Amino acid sequence: METLNLNLIDKYAHKMVELAAEYGPKFILAIVVLIVGLRAIKWVSKLILVIFEKREVDPTLRPFVLNLLDWILKAMLFISVAAMIGIETTSFVAIVGALGLAVGFALQGTLGNFAGGVMLLLFKPYKVGDLIDVNGHLGEVEEIQIFVTKLITPDGKVKIIPNGSISNESCTNYSSFGTRRVDLTIGVSYSSDLKKAREVLLKVMNDHPLVLEEPAPLVGVLELADSAVSLAVRPWTNAENYWDVHFDILEFGKEALDREGISIPFPQQDVYVHSVK
């Protein structure tokens, strides 16, 4: 009985030695290839980024291509490593394909975001640096990745918006033409000289260094409101100067109207107190 047990142990030990001799070098080589391959992929990504910068490739395209290339190279590396340790590549690809199909159904939103990213790169409704508004999310485009777009809001927050949502929602690009119209409304009293008020506000805009000559600034009666005549004040400026012009025209316009004796009405409420005897 003891002899039989020793024979079994010797048989299994011999078998393990054979397996180790056959597959051990393959596993070690596979690990080395995996480590070297991952480092090589990282180096290739850096090299491509340098080439993109030298050739001034569209900044919108860079992160998308780099992320996609990283995924493809890593997939090829893992398939190669699997083949080195004895896994049949065809079977491995079939298994990965089946898993991919199952995961695809579970991650339809993620695939939709990928498709949205591709559509954004094809049609280019915006690029890195543009100021956009997507479904109420306003910000400057910092980066367009495979699945998401990063926005920097005016108050310094980072917003991550799925590309699928962007491709399915309306998107307003404030930087497409390089210029923007500033829409302001300034009210003057009904007793004011409208012609004079118009001249004063036009002079304020024409004297401002950031207001464009063409298209020409505009002042017109927008509404006859309850307590004021509302004037539409419409200067044009470069997109990056929008808020500077917005704040300056309101401030300088108020000061200029005050100097000319043109009053800007504000809501008032009269309170009458009656004594009860």
Is 97 part of any domain?
yes
Q: In this structure, what CATH number is given to the domain that contains residue 247?
A: 3.30.70.100
pLDDT score at 107: 45
In this structure, the answer to whether residues 61 and 40 fall within a common structural domain is yes
Is 269 part of any domain?
no
Instruction: Report residue 106's pLDDT band, with 50, 70 and 90 as the boundaries.
Output: very low
Is 265 part of any domain?
no
Give pTM, 2 decimals: 0.57
**pLDDT surpassing 60 at residue 249:** yes
In this structure, the answer to whether residues 191 and 158 fall within a common structural domain is no
**pLDDT surpassing 70 at residue 244:** yes
Is 22 part of any domain?
yes
- Choose one of 173, 188, 215: the last residue of a domain: 173
- How far is the C-alpha of 113 from the C-alpha of 166, rounded, in Å? 9
Over residues 191-201, mean pLDDT: 93
Residues sharing a CB contact under 8 Å with residue 189, sequence separation 6 or more, in sequence order: 228, 229, 262, 263, 264, 265
Instruction: Report residue 49's pLDDT band, with 50, 70 and 90 as the boundaries.
Output: confident
Is 92 part of any domain?
yes
In this structure, the answer to whether residues 12 and 91 fall within a common structural domain is yes
Over residues 155-167, mean pLDDT: 84
In this structure, the answer to whether residues 93 and 16 fall within a common structural domain is yes
In this structure, the answer to whether residues 9 and 76 fall within a common structural domain is yes
Q: For residues 164 and 204, which has the higher predicted lDDT (pLDDT)?
A: 204
pLDDT score at 200: 94
The residue whose two tokens read 């090829």 is 76
Instruction: Report residue 263's pLDDT band, with 50, 70 and 90 as the boundaries.
Output: confident
In this structure, the answer to whether residues 168 and 199 fall within a common structural domain is no
Q: For residues 270 and 147, which has the higher predicted lDDT (pLDDT)?
A: 147
In this structure, the answer to whether residues 91 and 168 fall within a common structural domain is no
In this structure, the answer to whether residues 102 and 131 fall within a common structural domain is no
In this structure, the answer to whether residues 9 and 94 fall within a common structural domain is yes
In this structure, the answer to whether residues 30 and 84 fall within a common structural domain is yes
- Choose one of 148, 173, 198: the last residue of a domain: 173
pLDDT score at 32: 82
In this structure, the answer to whether residues 6 and 102 fall within a common structural domain is yes
Residue 124: give the domain boundaries.
118-173
- The total number of structural domains in the chain stands at 3
Is 237 part of any domain?
yes
Q: In this structure, what CATH number is given to the domain that contains residue 136?
A: 2.30.30.60
Q: In this structure, what CATH number is given to the domain that contains residue 7?
A: 1.10.287.1260
To the nearest whole percent, how much of the chain has pLDDT over 70?
72
In this structure, the answer to whether residues 165 and 239 fall within a common structural domain is no
pLDDT score at 246: 96
